[in-house]
Amino acid sequence: MSDLPEFESFDDFWPFYVKEHRSKANRALHFAGTTLALGAVAAAVVTRRPLLLLAAPILGYGPAWVGHFFVEQNRPASFKHPVWSFMGDFKMYGLMLRGKMSAEVARVLDADLARRDAETQAHAVHVEGSIAN
């Protein structure tokens, strides 16, 4: 399980969040958990039973953590970045509702690959320049 890096903003955090949710199965578990948590909140309001609110975090995080520990085999970002992780959960939920999360995963992974390729090329140019001198 990887150490979690530090981030300056949610925009910096988002690509990390997306890469930690590559697996469709993990994303499906997050979607189910978020839906169940929202249902618990709605049920608490409709039935005027505030104790149902206690179920929301369990219903929301339970499936998500199963997805991280057993599917992705990584550590949930909510441990170190709870607010940004919560925001990421709902951004991902919205993208999934619109059928756009798989494309977002591909976009982030492509951007990461391009960044790593550029770094490798820059390093190769630096090494070649050092050898020539």
3: pLDDT confidence band, cut at 50, 70 and 90? low
pLDDT digits (tens, 9 = 90+) for 108-130: 999 999 988 888 877 666 666 66
pLDDT digits (tens, 9 = 90+) for 64-87: 999 999 999 999 999 999 999 999
In this prediction, residue 120 carries a pLDDT of 82
1: pLDDT confidence band, cut at 50, 70 and 90? very low
Average of pLDDT values for 89-105? 98
Helices (H) and strands (E) in the chain, counts: 5, 0
Cβ within 8 Å of residue 87, ≥6 positions away: 10
Average pLDDT over all residues of the chain: 92
